[in-house]
Structure 1
Amino acid sequence: MADSFINPVYPHTMADPFVLKHDGLYYAYGTAPVGADGRAFPVLRSADLVRWEPLGHALVPPGGTDFWAPEVAARDGKFYMYYSAQGIGGQDHQLRVAVSEHPAGPFLDAGVVLVPDQPFSIDAHPFRDRDGSWYLYYCVDFLELEDDHRVGTGIVVDRMLDMTTLAGEPRVVARPHEDWHLFLKQRPMYGNVYDWHTVEGAAVLLHEGLYYCFYSGGAWERENYGISYVVADHPLGPFRRPPQGGAALLMSTRPGRLIGPGHNSFTTSPDGSQTWIVYHAWQPDMAGRRMCIDRLDWVDGRPVTTGPTWMEQPAPAGG
């Protein structure tokens, strides 16, 4: 097993990486070009979070031209992949769900558009609470100015009635509200022009009775992309901003090393004693967003990490 690692832990494009821990193994899914077999989303397998074996691609596309940000939930012996697809029926990105009998796939689309009333929806994050209830966090666009919120993409949450059906009662989790959340100035959208801001890529952790919804803000291809969070007493919120301020509190660019770290997921070390953040970042050549890992710790109720790291680090415990 590995004693140490250096980021990135996988040498090829693996954006928006999500890691599922199942039966002592890790399965990673990410955004990347469609494979030679016509399937979407590369899937990798590892025993230690450091050395990854490619298993091909996971999703049999139901049509469409572009596929983003897969996340997988396991329930009652089945595996449910939540993702967005563009170009089905002429639509922009819409959230869908696919089902498999194995975490490596193949995943077959269930024929369901999860948020049919929205013209654009991405970045689904399924979350199971302690009582077994399921929630789906996802992103939609906001054009209204409210309080100090900016126009752009934000995160909402809805209850899941089952693994393919939402309650249809979304609540706001986080909208862009900081200068560093800028995606693009003077962006033509919805028949108008906006200074567009973005928070996306929800990932929820329960810690000492509080629900931390981590998000990535800014422009995914630029140095301002980074990770921060909001906090609530319940999965449906209301979510509040941390008292430490509005910076990218968890992770931000290390100039000349790793650029634009973000769109993360969380998992535990092989022995279960540590929490690890899995994220993508650009290297200085900007050749592709590659999968990285770093340890997450808590100090006085605050999540902290030394990442993004680019030097040798101790491997996850038990690996």
Structure 2
Amino acid sequence: MHNSLAAAAARTYTNPVYPHSMPDPFVLSHKGTYYAFGTAGQNAKDGRIFNLLTSKNLVDWKELGGALTPPAGSEKAEFWAPEVVYQNGTFYMYYSRGGGAIGASVGHRLHVATSTKPEGPYKEVALLDVPESKFTIDAHPFQDTDGKWYLFYARDFIDTDNGYFPGTGLVVDRLTSMTKLANESRTVMRARHPWTVFEKNRTMPLYDNRTFAEWHTLEGPFVRKHNGKYYCFYSGANFLTPRYGVDYCEADTVMGPYRDTANDTGARVLHAVAGHVRGPGHHSHVIGPDGKTEYLVYHAWDAGMKERQMCIDKLAWTKEGPRCQGPTYTPQPIP
């Protein structure tokens, strides 16, 4: 009996798969190995930015230190939400860098760093400027089936045009090269439902201390093409609240227009479970070791809400749309 129980335990995992700080987790699969990148300050061992882990099965993770060599003059900057893609022998890391916390007088800007190896070290090589926005975060590079590259990201909108709420929304632009935007951005989605509110009566130093009756947040875009349609997944609401979770909009072409029907009451793909899972979101998608099962990799708070830890769960494409088979907090079959 003991041996059979041990064998069963060996075939399961229980979230979190990395029980330490790993916000905004992105997983790159390259030549049979998974590399996870997460938001973090300087690594104590090597002084580099972003947590870097490696695994063969999405469950057992080994720490590799940091990934990005901090650029000169960035000692007081914050680095958020790295994503890495491979193209023509080079690994490109997209992330935002800015000064101070959210709402500070210095906003965030998108940057690109490169490396010849997936584990780095990465060196910053370009600024992807979005002149019309003071706060631009969560860059997500997407390659369409025709080989062309696009960049989805989140940026602030302070107007109420067409009934939208002020706040952070989702945008897409073409990449004319891996380090340059076409500057032909189109809005993917803006907040128009009450559940995505981040904070009411929020005063924003970034916008001359203007106070907004409601400030909403859509962030962390991640795009999948499925059955000919483009699905832009995102995290919505305040990451400290039970409303935070993952939803999506869809389009027939990569540049849109995107539709967000039936998401007016809350996140449908991934959401909190009272008493068990807190603040699941800012995810990435990855195919499991079997080459076919799709997983969401996301963060969720520990019980004391001291750190956001990395979790994984299967994604299912149902007749109602994409749905996470979770978030789980009990033993699950190992990928």
Fold-level similarity (TM above 0.5): yes
Aligned counterpart in structure 2 of residue 80 of structure 1, from 92, 114, 117: 92
- Name the TM-score, length of structure 1 as normaliser: 0.95
Which amino acid letter does the alignment assign opposite residue 269 of structure 2?
L
- Counterpart of 1:281 in structure 2 is 300
Aligned counterpart in structure 1 of residue 68 of structure 2, from 59, 63, 76: 59
Distance 2:126 2:26 in 1: 22
Question: Deviation of residue 247 (structure 1)?
Answer: 2.0
RMSD between aligned alpha carbons? 1.6
Which amino acid letter does the alignment assign opposite residue 299 of structure 2?
H
- Partners of 2:69 and 2:122 within 8 A in 1: yes
Distance 2:162 2:128 in 1: 31
- Counterpart of 2:149 in structure 1 is 134
Which amino acid letter does the alignment assign opposite residue 145 of structure 2?
R
* 1:163 and 2:178 are equivalent in the alignment: yes
Distance 1:94 1:229 in 2: 24
- Structure 2 segments unaligned to the other structure (5+ residues): 1-6
- Partners of 1:226 and 1:253 within 8 A in 2: yes
Mean Cα deviation higher: 14-23 or 174-183: 174-183
Mean Cα deviation higher: 79-88 or 195-204: 79-88
- Counterpart of 1:19 in structure 2 is 27
Mean Cα deviation higher: 163-172 or 277-286: 277-286
Which amino acid letter does the alignment assign opposite residue 249 of structure 1?
R
Distance 1:45 1:76 in 2: 22
Q: How does 1:28-47 map to 2 (within 5 A)?
A: 28-36=36-44, 37-47=46-56
- Partners of 1:231 and 1:242 within 8 A in 2: no
Question: Deviation of residue 243 (structure 1)?
Answer: 3.8
- SS of residue paired to 2:215: strand
- Partners of 2:81 and 2:138 within 8 A in 1: yes
Question: Deviation of residue 246 (structure 1)?
Answer: 4.4
- SS of residue paired to 1:112: strand
Which amino acid letter does the alignment assign opposite residue 82 of structure 1?
Y
Mean Cα deviation higher: 43-52 or 296-305: 296-305
Segments ≥4 residues shifted beyond 6 Å: none
Question: Deviation of residue 301 (structure 1)?
Answer: 5.6
Show CA shifts across 1:255-300 (max 9, x none).
1111011001000011212110000011221020000000001112
Question: Deviation of residue 315 (structure 1)?
Answer: 1.3
* 1:238 and 2:222 are equivalent in the alignment: no
- SS of residue paired to 2:168: strand
- Counterpart of 2:12 in structure 1 is 4
- SS of residue paired to 1:118: coil
- Partners of 1:143 and 1:152 within 8 A in 2: yes
Question: Deviation of residue 122 (structure 1)?
Answer: 0.2
Structure number with greater Rg is 2
Question: Deviation of residue 245 (structure 1)?
Answer: 4.5
Mean Cα deviation higher: 206-215 or 146-155: 146-155
- Cα–Cα, structure 1 residues 42 and 234, in superposed 2: closer, same or farther, change >3 Å? same
Question: Deviation of residue 307 (structure 1)?
Answer: 1.3
Identity between Structure 1 and Structure 2 (%) = 48
* 1:143 and 2:170 are equivalent in the alignment: no
Aligned counterpart in structure 2 of residue 225 of structure 1, from 244, 260, 273: 244
Question: Deviation of residue 222 (structure 1)?
Answer: 2.0
Question: Deviation of residue 93 (structure 1)?
Answer: 1.1
Distance 1:19 1:3 in 2: 22
